[in-house]
Structure 1
């Protein structure tokens, strides 16, 4: 199996993270921000890659080919991805982080309501149930002054990546024995959802390319 490491790398000789290997397998220039994957999904993959330990990171490797080609311009996808991250973080994050996760979750809901023409305060049943599990964080988030409508462009560029990063770091720092497993599962689950949202099935990789990737990352 290819070997993943934390952070950004100039070349395969220096190491490789999840999205850098995705760029290589997609035939793009070496980069941790390749064009083959939706930017927010790629952001989640980088965050998960950097927050898990070496054993859990090895479990990410089979997911790399699956993100190639997962891209589209539906503005709802940013809110959908960010919502999955916040939903995963809210029940396990430390109490001081739960308010931030709840705010992020409500921002996702309001962006989706705006894009889909629903009332401002409508909540998806999953969101409502998850918020009801943490009433203090829920009530604090509802009073947060920054919960306006905003634009989908601003949400995609700033809010959604911040929500994902905060959720991943919150899960990583949570006082639970399986935080790495939760992060791997979050990324795998989100990739599966993105395949549905983009109506895309991964293209099988040739064995020669995979062997080349293994050789390239072995030290």
Structure 2
């Protein structure tokens, strides 16, 4: 979107829709903008990131869901085969959920953080036991859950392949549902921030050549950055196509 959002914003809705006249979720709107077949599983976005977007879309309130639309251009073309993407997306979800979800889910999120960090350490050649500062801070907020996770995880190791196939999707699903059901005054901003942070993590890993690695429109009016061979360049969204998609799916009030 060249860093600027158009005046018309779509009315996003929960669930899967057969065609635009029936409505659109976050990823269906992305599929249309990308010029793909109408689908909530388009190839233009990393599968786990798309899964996170669908979950956030469905667990956000009707009143707050239109605010998600400004993130849609950022996921178009944001994909790749690097297994670190799955680990980083899962870590974003677990870190966001850990401080606010119910106790039994805190245990699962703490284990997910330690597992995700273990997988990243293996993939990136870090020393065993290394923790990103953000993971350390999240675990420090729930010391009982952290102690339990360290004890539970002793001698238990998961391969990058296993984490990518099973643990990462489960972590994302539990995290989003846990945040949506948490005893907080308004979970909607937490869900939106989680999705935005995951998008930024993917951008950082795919190393845009120009700019700082932030997603297009993230605090800047700069053009979408070109991405190196680590991943494809994000598609520039045609404002006319955006307007057409809004017309087909409905406009937000």
What is the TM-score normalised by the length of structure 2?
Answer: 0.81
Moved more, 185-194 or 142-151: 142-151
Report the equivalent of 1:43: 51
Report the equivalent of 2:139: 131
Q: 1:54 offset after TM fit, Å? A: 1.0
Q: 1:137 offset after TM fit, Å? A: 0.7
Encode CA deviations 1:175-214: one digit per residue, 9 max, x unaligned.
1112111111111122123222223534432222111111
Q: 1:151 offset after TM fit, Å? A: 2.6
Encode CA deviations 1:82-114: one digit per residue, 9 max, x unaligned.
111111111111222211111111110111112
Q: 1:3 offset after TM fit, Å? A: 1.1
Higher normalized helix content (fraction of residues): 1
Q: Does the aligned pair in 2 maintain the 1:107–1:147 contact within 8 Å?
A: no
Matched, 1:120 2:152: no
Q: 2:80 aligns with which of 72, 79, 97?
A: 72
Report the equivalent of 1:188: 196
Report the equivalent of 1:210: 242
Q: 1:117 offset after TM fit, Å? A: 2.5
d(CA) in 2 for partners of 1:140, 1:69: 39
Q: 1:81 offset after TM fit, Å? A: 0.9
Matched, 1:106 2:75: no
Moved more, 103-112 or 120-129: 120-129
Q: Does the aligned pair in 1 maintain the 2:88–2:198 contact within 8 Å?
A: no
d(CA) in 1 for partners of 2:136, 2:142: 10
Q: 1:146 offset after TM fit, Å? A: 8.8
Structure 1 alignment gaps of length 5 or more = none
Query: After TM superposition, what 4+ stretches of structure 1 lie above 6 angstroms from structure 2?
Result: none
Partner SS, residue 55 of structure 1: coil
Q: 1:20 aligns with which of 28, 46, 58?
A: 28
Partner SS, residue 116 of structure 2: helix
d(CA) in 2 for partners of 1:87, 1:189: 11
Matched, 1:56 2:70: no
Q: Does the aligned pair in 1 maintain the 2:115–2:158 contact within 8 Å?
A: no
Partner SS, residue 63 of structure 2: helix
What is the TM-score normalised by the length of structure 1?
Answer: 0.93
